[in-house]
């Protein structure tokens, strides 16, 4: 599941395509294609900005990971509603796309990999959000309806730990890892000067590159072994583990391989320190700005440079306005406690308040984007302080109507 669109977000779809290649490679995952359901907007490979049309890579010297990927849900079909319907096996609940849903049973293991932007208590889709409570509700449904034996979930997103911390039950046979803690950004990896964008995300490329080079002919390489590699090689954030940690002692082939004996025939063994550094790792919140500035600086003529400069200025204006709006909302509502709201992330999240508050702030102040999602935690903090969503909406209306 890749939850973004736009060429500057290249990395999320290349992550997903790389994962697909691993899972279907006869010498690695060896899954039948019909066992895999893919969500991706599918606007990157043929985007006019892509200098290598029909090509996506996830590593500076990597192969094209786009060919052969079966894209079940693309464009407007990439929604939280479709995603939740798919994982719950609800074919009547999907709109658009292939209509394929999960048909797993109590004898099956399920592996979910998600790559996109996120914030406190949510991950983003192209036009809306999936909140942690809705995801966990779906997991509980899957467990109660015996849709899996065990499930493993990897999430690449800023503050992705907040999708599991203090909310994922420890008794429904799910093991989850996240790219970051509940209060950290995740980071892009591998800037490519030809494509002028980042090719992957740090946490994501680490688990996939481990799968790519791993020798598990003896079936001893476990999920926890993989996590240790990911943790040690993810420099800019701290990947986390949640749920039933004993599942991590199982071989990776139980989830990233179709049957016993997956990941054989690859003779290369991973060595400590044997990986490609990211080079310049960039906070996911800042990718669009960096992308626009790089396009401006590499423009081949004055007209193109001026056009990109306009987009840089619009992005900077948007960021300044988002910062100002949140600061003013906090000032009016919290007064001298404003700085406390900005200095800490909530330990618990009141989703009954957060959901309508986010919705109403967007109504009055505009949709949160890759950058301004970082301020969601301040709304969660206000909710935890007892501020009602109605009050937050009223102040947001007053503040943003004057902008």
In angstroms, the CA 324 to CA 305 distance is 28
In angstroms, the CA 207 to CA 218 distance is 19
Residue 96 in tokens: 């658009």
In angstroms, the CA 276 to CA 289 distance is 25
Beta bridge partners of 251: 222
Coil/strand/helix, residue 114: strand
Phi/psi of residue 242, nearest 5 degrees: -140, 165
Spell out the residues 6+ positions from residue 264 whose beta carbon is closer than 8 angstroms to its own: 27, 216, 217
CA angle 210, 215, 217 (to 5 degrees): 140
In angstroms, the CA 299 to CA 142 distance is 51
In which residue are the tokens 């943003």 written?
Answer: 400
Long-range pairs, 190-194, Cβ under 8 A, ≥24: 190/58, 190/59, 190/60, 190/276, 190/278, 190/279, 191/279, 191/280, 191/282, 192/57, 192/60, 193/298, 194/51, 194/52
- The CA-based diameter of the chain, rounded to the nearest angstrom, is 66
Q: Is 117 in contact with 158 (CB distance < 8 Å)? A: yes
Catalytic residue numbers, as ranges: 117, 158
Q: Is 387 in contact with 333 (CB distance < 8 Å)? A: yes
Phi/psi of residue 392, nearest 5 degrees: -60, -45
In which residue are the tokens 């999960």 written?
Answer: 102
């Amino acid at each position: 599941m890749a939850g973004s669109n736009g060429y500057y977000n290249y990395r999320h779809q290349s992550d997903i395509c790389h994962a697909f290649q691993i899972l279907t490679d006869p010498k690695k995952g060896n899954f039948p294609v019909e066992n895999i359901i893919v969500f991706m907007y599918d606007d990157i490979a043929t985007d006019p900005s892509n200098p290598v049309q029909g090509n996506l890579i996830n590593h500076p010297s990597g192969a094209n990971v786009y060919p052969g990927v079966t894209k079940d849900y693309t464009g407007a079909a990439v929604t939280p509603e479709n995603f939740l319907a798919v994982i719950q096996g609800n074919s009547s609940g999907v709109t658009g796309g292939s209509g394929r849903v999960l048909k797993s049973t109590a004898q099956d293991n399920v592996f979910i990999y998600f790559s996109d932007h996120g914030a406190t208590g949510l991950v983003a889709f192209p036009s809306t959000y999936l909140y942690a409570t809705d995801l966990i509700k779906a997991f509980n449904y899957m467990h109660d309806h015996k849709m899996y034996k065990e499930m493993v979930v990897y999430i690449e997103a800023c503050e992705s730990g907040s999708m599991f911390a203090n909310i994922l039950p420890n008794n429904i046979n799910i093991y989850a890892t996240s790219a970051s803690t509940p209060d950290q950004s995740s980071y892009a990896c591998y800037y490519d000067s030809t494509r002028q964008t980042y090719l992957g995300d740090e946490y994501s490329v680490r688990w996939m590159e481990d799968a790519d080079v791993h020798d598990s002919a003896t079936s001893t390489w476990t999920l926890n072994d993989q996590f240790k590699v990911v943790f040690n090689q993810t420099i800019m954030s701290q990947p986390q583990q949640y749920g039933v940690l004993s599942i991590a002692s199982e071989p990776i082939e139980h989830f990233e391989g179709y049957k016993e004996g997956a990941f054989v025939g690859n003779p290369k063994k991973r060595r400590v320190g044997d990986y490609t550094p990211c080079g310049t790792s960039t906070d996911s919140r800042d990718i669009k700005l960096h992308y626009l500035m790089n396009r401006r600086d590499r423009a081949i003529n004055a007209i193109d440079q001026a056009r990109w400069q306009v987009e840089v200025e619009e992005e900077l204006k948007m960021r300044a306005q988002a910062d100002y709006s949140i600061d003013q909302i906090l000032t009016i509502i919290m007064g001298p406690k404003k700085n406390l709201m900005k200095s800490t992330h909530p330990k618990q999240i009141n989703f009954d308040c957060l959901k309508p508050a986010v919705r109403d702030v967007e109504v009055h102040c505009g949709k949160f984007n890759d950058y301004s999602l970082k301020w969601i935690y301040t709304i969660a903090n206000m909710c935890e302080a007892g501020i009602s969503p109605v009050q937050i909406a009223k102040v947001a209306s007053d503040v943003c109507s004057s902008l």
